[in-house]
A and B are shown apart, each in its own frame.
Chain A
């Protein structure tokens, strides 16, 4: 059993009256030699790594290799604990966790690429915040990860998740779409609503460039993960309210891919444009490697 487009995925869900997560599980089982128990156990392992990576920097902040980030998650939590968050609990937690994962990643800690290391904060950030806020069972969150996997697979297959190829829209944009669909399913949405949430998430981030200062996965990657998670939460709420997109998910992928190709090379992970070449960005880069390009 396989599907190659969002349209095919949705048809399978509706024919079988089943969720995206279960269809993705069936695909994995039918195309590999793995059993249901094995794939659930493997996803559970990813879930445990995700839990550790969202919580670790709250108590043990570490400086990144390049020294551009470190300690942000603890500051965000402090703001919330003092009752000074202006985002409200769910959003405050989501951005705290998303930025925490990027801290772990940038200090050579253990993370789960989802779909990439540079965008690895978005999916765990939203899913774990939702789990805490709405007391969701672990099984529900594991379902969310399979749904996120289904959306990410379609983006990898029909577009790209590489910043070097498609800009940040392909990394944080993809992660945001994955998280939006997962959140929609976890909060009781239909497969169709999940696809609308993913479509809206990509649409909102179309054209986002990849311009890392000093070529490192630190700035602006960390705060882009925060916007990825915010966008995902917003898009899930829009979809769960019954608001639909008239542009299909498959069309959105095609346009995202085309836009990616037209983003100049300077703004596709080469550190030759955008934030990377601002005077302050250049100054930081010189400080890190002792040599300026």
Chain B
């Protein structure tokens, strides 16, 4: 198990009523928001398991909408997020999937589209006590929590790409806490996920993107 801080016990500071169904939902949606650049114009949510059954009574829907507008778990605006999302011109929808059962009980799929029609789909799990993790980006299985500064690189599955990424990070003096590699298929698209204790400077992104085998980067700062 990861490090448990005193503030994981006396905390999170949060809008009720449920750490898993409300605070966790905010955190997943906030991570998704940080992964997509620009203004979000459309958000589609699919709720699974316990989320799909009890989301209204736990304000899970309002929490998710609040998260994609950048609200934290303790932001009282969450209660009015339907109205606020409409005012912000965000088109949103909620659907439930009660057929797929072989997944974590508190799971949500979030598809976000920005003003440049760039779209991103992520799957998040709320693990309890406000702890969350992202387990899928587009169609690739991944695993990160957002508790560290996280760099996500979408790249071709070719020799030397990971070495290039780590060299760029080393040149910028970034200490890697964890690094994981995921891929769709052999030789296809791969995802590198780098987690660091410190902020990852945005300047490193330009360096990483300088080779053709790197398609996309996302930076989620703590």
Residues of A within 8 A of B (CB): 24, 27-28, 31-33, 39, 42-43, 45-46, 49, 64-66, 104-118, 120, 123, 145-146, 148-150, 152-153, 156-157, 161-162, 164-165, 178, 214-218, 270-271, 288-289
Number of A-B contacts (CB under 8 A): 138
Q: Is the CB of A108 within 8 A of B78?
A: yes
The segment from B10-18, B107-115, B148-156 found at the interface with A is: B10-18
Q: Does B221 contact A (CB under 8 A)?
A: no
Q: Is the CB of B128 within 8 A of A162?
A: yes
A24 to B3, CA, bound (A): 14
Q: Does B57 contact A (CB under 8 A)?
A: yes
Residue of B nearest to A108 (CB): B79
Chain B residues with Cβ below 8 Å from A42 are: 7
Q: Is the CB of A117 within 8 A of B5?
A: no
Chain B residues with Cβ below 8 Å from A217 are: 16-18, 58
Q: Is the CB of A156 within 8 A of B4?
A: yes
Q: Is the CB of A43 within 8 A of B79?
A: no
A221 to B150, CA, bound (A): 37
**Most chain A beta-carbon contacts within 10 A, residue among B17, B22, B53, B79:** B17
Chain B 53-65: CB-based contact to A (< 8 A → 1; otherwise 0): 1101111001000
A114 to B97, CA, bound (A): 32
Partner of A113, one of B12, B56, B58: B12
Could you write out 9 A-B pairs with CB less than 8 Å apart?
Answer: A42-B7, A43-B6, A65-B59, A114-B10, A145-B10, A162-B20, A214-B57, A217-B18, A271-B54
Q: Is the CB of B129 within 8 A of A216?
A: no
Partner of B129, one of A112, A116, A150, A289: A116
Distance to closest chain B CB from A217 (angstroms): 4
A105 to B59, CA, bound (A): 11
A76 to B52, CA, bound (A): 36
Partner of A106, one of B4, B16, B50, B53: B16
Q: Does B8 contact A (CB under 8 A)?
A: yes
A289 to B96, CA, bound (A): 15
A173 to B9, CA, bound (A): 14
Chain B residues with Cβ below 8 Å from A218 are: 17
Distance to closest chain B CB from A1 (angstroms): 13
A218 to B54, CA, bound (A): 13
Distance to closest chain A CB from B21 (angstroms): 9
**Most chain B beta-carbon contacts within 10 A, residue among A33, A46, A145:** A46
Q: Is the CB of B16 within 8 A of A288?
A: no
Besides the known contacts A45-B13, A117-B14, 12 further A-B residue pairs in the complex with CB atoms under 8 A apart: A46-B7, A46-B10, A65-B57, A66-B57, A108-B59, A110-B14, A114-B9, A149-B9, A150-B6, A153-B9, A156-B129, A215-B50
Given contacts A43-B10, A123-B10, A289-B56, contact A216 B1 (CB under 8 A): no
Chain A residues with Cβ below 8 Å from B53 are: 215
Distance to closest chain B CB from A77 (angstroms): 21
Q: Is the CB of A117 within 8 A of B19?
A: yes
Partner of B16, one of A24, A28, A111: A111
Distance to closest chain B CB from A126 (angstroms): 14
Q: Is the CB of A112 within 8 A of B13?
A: yes
Chain B 115-150: CB-based contact to A (< 8 A → 1; otherwise 0): 000000000000011100000000000000000000
Q: Does B184 contact A (CB under 8 A)?
A: no
**Most chain A beta-carbon contacts within 10 A, residue among B50, B76, B129:** B129
Distance to closest chain B CB from A197 (angstroms): 17
> Top 4 closest A-B pairs, CB basis?
A105-B16, A152-B9, A149-B6, A217-B17
